[in-house]
Structure formats: C-alpha cells, structure tokens
Structure 1
C-alpha cells in the first residue's frame, strides 16, 4: 500500500483527500494551514481538510510556514512514498520536493500552463473562458511550473459561477487523481514539460478587482460578477455606500447614454447601463450593513426610492 501525505486546505481539497482514502492509499498524515479567525465574531476555525482528516483519525500537521520549520523535519521523517497537494497554499521547500520516493504531485484547477497561481477558478470565469480543467503535475520549485502528468477538460457554461465551477473541478480532480495514481505507482506516468512561454497567471483576487467599473462591457461585467460569486463578491457604490452585487443577468437592452445609470426598475430588480450601450439586470444584492437579498425585495423595501437616472459606482471616463 502506497504511503501518502496529503497537503491541502479549502473545500476544494476535501473530495481529493476522500478519493485517496477510497482508493485505499495509506494516508499517513494531512498537512494544512493553521486554524484562522472566521466570520463576524472572528472565531478560530479549522480548515475543511483538517475537519475531514480528524473525522477519519488521520494525524494533522499545521505549519505556519514550512521552510525551516520543525514541522518540515517531521514531514520528511514520515518517509512517505508520495506527497499529493491540492490548494495547500504554500510552496514546498526543495528538500521536501526531493523527499518522497515517488515525488510530489499537485492537483491544479486549470489547464496548465494557463492560469498558474492561487485563483484559477475565479480568473477562468472572469476572462470569459468556455473551458478550463484539471492538471496533475510533478511539483517544481517554481509556482505551478512542473511537468504535466495528466489533464482533463471541464466545460464552463454561461450559468456557471465560482461556486458551481469549483465543485465540478474538485470532483474532476478527484477522479483524474484516481486514474493517475496507478501510473505513478508503477513508474509508467508520462512527463510533459510545460511550454513556459505560454504561461498565464491567476493571482489571488485583489480588492480593486472586486469593484465594478460600469464603463466595461456588459459581457465583461457579467463575467466579473459570476467570477466573484459566492466569494469574495463584486461590489459597486450607491449613494456613497458600498453595495455588493451578487447576481446579474444580461438584458440585450440597447441605450445611447452613459454607463452606470439606472435605466429601469423592473419586477426582478434594477437595470443598470454598461459601457457598450447595453445593460445588466441586477437580481441579487447586499446593501451596506444589511443581509443579501433579492434585488426585487430591495426595490420594494429599502430601495423603493431608487430613481431612474441615478448614477451608481465607479466610471472610468
């Protein structure tokens, strides 16, 4: 039985850990990020992978930083045959990459060399891609730059958001790993070097990428909103207060006016002009200091005095 150390942190990683167990790998330890404060009350909360590991009586190691840590020595001393990572959140030190007899592999949520980095699911949708996928690769010292072992494509539909695509990719990653592990175990896995000149990057989302610029096209803004839902969520400003925009729909409406103007108040929510002479229908939002709600409910309540012709948000002239 192959001795495996699994390294992962968020929900994305949990099905992959479960697959290792279902495939009867001997998961001798799980390495994950430390517990972090979460929610309004900032309660110390364990990562999802830790919760799953402890439910299965698997030892958990939580280094703040691997490099130079006592936890690194502990992991190396376990003498695993293979290390499997999936959204762990840290680069592995060179000495750890060399430690397992069968190497270290990563389950990454893009078709490498596209979208290296920590937010490939968000960026795939925000860029309007029609497909993405999973890559399993041997790990290297540089970020997501190792040799490819296997890949599978996953369609991105017009209705996908980060949440739905996250779930599809997580399941696809677990299945692809199950197919790939026997090849690694019997040393028949093929290695394909990435074309590094074609690499693109999907860095973690920055605050300014969450703000809606209404001068962008209807399609771009639709992709931005669904590419940030359900986390961290796009936002605009309305009457000088932040308003989160959770869901929107394309309308096909044409106009000759400025972007960022409320064109209509419909039974489903407000219609706001965009920069290409089109408009978005906002269907779910979260006003400042309130809970998220259907945009129709907002118009019947706190937003009942919203006026057609009002300006919202940021405009780049």
Structure 2
C-alpha cells in the first residue's frame, strides 16, 4: 500500500501499519514547512517516521497534475491509506489503487465531517467520539463506512487528550480494517443522510472567550481548544490564555456583577462571572500571562497577584489576537 498523511495523528496510523503484516511501499506527505523561531524547513511527523524506516517519500504540491498522478500510478499499489494528508484527492487519484483509497477520520461519521472533528465534538458537548474507516470518494468525508470504533468524552477531556486517544484508536482500526478486507470480511455501508454536521477549521480569533455565554459552553470551548489554538481573553489590555476551566459554583457572598468580572482569585481557581446576566461562574484553574508559561492558579497569582484583583473586568480592552 501507499500511505498518505502529514501530522502526528497520521504518524500513529503509519506506525501501526509498519508494525503489521501489511506492506507500506511508499509515503506521501505535505512539503516541508517553516517551523520554530528560526523558521527552518521542517519535515512532517509522517516524513520523519518514513525516513526512519527508509521508505520512499513523495511530497508533491498537488495531486491534480498528470505528472504527479503518473508517478503515483507507477508504484502499482493495491491500496492507498489516507490520514490527515491535507491535499485533495481527485477522482483520477482515487481510481489508481486497485482497491481504492481508505481514510481514517477522527469522528463517528456522518457527524463532524471536515477539518476539526476532534475539537468540534468537545466544543459541542458530545459525550462520545471515535474513528471511522471510510472508502474515499470525491466528497468531503462522504464515502461509505467500513468500520467504526468509539470512545467516550468526559467533562474533563481536552482536545489534546482526545487527539492522542483517537490517534491510537485510528491505528488499531485501520489495521483491523485491512485484516478483514484481506479476508473478504468487510462490507461498506453508506453514510446516513441524517445527522450530518461539519467541523469547520479552527482559528485563533474564535478562541476568544465571550463571558456572556453560559459557563458550560465556555468550559467546553476551553477544553476543546487545548492545546491549540488555546482559549483566551483580555486582562488589562493584554492577552490571558486560558488552558483549563470548569463550571464553578456561585457563592452567597458573590456580588451581582457583569459578565467577565473577576469574582475571586483563590489558590484553586480564578472565578469569573459569566452568562447573559453574570449569574454563572467559570472557574479557571490554569492560565498563561504574556511572555510566561501556562501555570496553575496558585503559581499564576505568585507571578502577578496585582493583576487579579476582584472586581477586575476581563475581555474589555481591545488588543490583537495572541500569536
């Protein structure tokens, strides 16, 4: 088979295939990108893993031109496995492998088709997620399903934690799917029309917290956007990144205050008024000041106690989205 993928999520599936009896003959991945402070060209995690195993690596800018398609066809692969590759596969490419192209998608299709299924599932308050092994067609994650595996989403699960769990599950699922496919024991099932949702690409701007929203919604967004793009707000005109938060309890001594008001700053949490009338509480337990590291609340207060005076309003002064 040919393997096509780019980020860490895809590398987990490639490693699982390399550990299986199935034979990977070549790897396709995105061209090297600038990374780090020096903006040095850096290979993708999939390329790095492929090079460790001395596999041929192909990095076309596109698979739409005839030369790239002829190069892929010359490999004479039975199958192509695609995991978070990042390039669109035209019908001409889907038709090249004898058994077509299979995709490992990080959701229970047809829910959360698209670019950011892991984060959107947490943000929406879903109680479960999973991976779907899908026979690819030219649509956006619309192909028939071959196999699914599920996992629960707890009310503490972050985007990073669910990513790692689904990456491992995806590796297990694609190997199982290929085992069963080789034994003629796998049937494709069309996706139902009901329940289709789209997971739009994430942006840093949308990670800004609006404290007029309910506490449960804000807490879910904080977890979904950890570790990227990281939820944030403004404190005295400077960005404050919020890494962990939960729904807090409103206390009898709490004053009636507008959304975004810091009610108290204790060792365990910054308690912030939220909701349309400010009567709910978001409890922030890990945050990051400009130029600093993510810190638990007690360490954060040691680093900048004066900034966290009860009655301070968060999110009021315009500033640039944190980089």
How far apart in 1 are the matches of 2:39 and 2:297?
29
**Deviation (angstroms), 1:305:** 3.9
Which residue in the other structure is 2:274 paired with? 274
Which residue in the other structure is 2:265 paired with? 265
Which of 62, 67, 75 is matched with 1:65 structurally? 62
Equivalent positions of 1:199-214 (< 5 A) are 199-214=196-211
Which residue in the other structure is 2:246 paired with? 249
Which of 291, 307, 314 is matched with 2:293 structurally? 291
Aligned residues of 2:112 and 2:198 also touching (Cα < 8 A): yes
Which residue in the other structure is 2:84 paired with? 87
Which of 124, 142, 156 is matched with 1:145 structurally? 142
**Deviation (angstroms), 1:137:** 0.7
Equivalent positions of 1:156-235 (< 5 A) are 156-235=153-232
How far apart in 2 are the matches of 1:162 and 1:202?
14
**Deviation (angstroms), 1:28:** 0.7
Equivalent positions of 1:2-41 (< 5 A) are 4-41=1-38
| TM superposition outliers: structure 1 runs of 4+ over 4 Å | none
**Deviation (angstroms), 1:48:** 0.6
Consecutive unaligned residues of structure 2, counting only runs of 5 or more, are 318-323
How far apart in 2 are the matches of 1:178 and 1:314?
51
How far apart in 1 are the matches of 2:303 and 2:203?
32
Q: What is the SS of the residue equivalent to 1:304?
A: helix
Q: What is the SS of the residue equivalent to 2:129?
A: strand
How far apart in 2 are the matches of 1:143 and 1:273?
40
Aligned residues of 1:91 and 1:143 also touching (Cα < 8 A): no
Q: Deviations over 1:19-44 (max 9, x none)?
A: 11111211111111111112233222
Q: What is the SS of the residue equivalent to 2:232?
A: strand
How far apart in 1 are the matches of 2:67 and 2:217?
46
How far apart in 1 are the matches of 2:190 and 2:200?
22
**Deviation (angstroms), 1:78:** 0.7
Instruction: State the TM-score, normalizing by the size of structure 1.
Output: 0.93
**Deviation (angstroms), 1:314:** 5.7
Equivalent pairs counted in the alignment come to 312
Which residue in the other structure is 2:310 paired with? 308
Aligned residues of 1:298 and 1:304 also touching (Cα < 8 A): no
Aligned residues of 1:286 and 1:293 also touching (Cα < 8 A): yes
How far apart in 2 are the matches of 1:205 and 1:59?
32
Q: Considering only aligned residues, what root-mean-square deviation do their CA atoms show, in Å?
A: 1.7
How far apart in 1 are the matches of 2:309 and 2:273?
14
Aligned residues of 2:203 and 2:229 also touching (Cα < 8 A): no
**Deviation (angstroms), 1:127:** 0.6
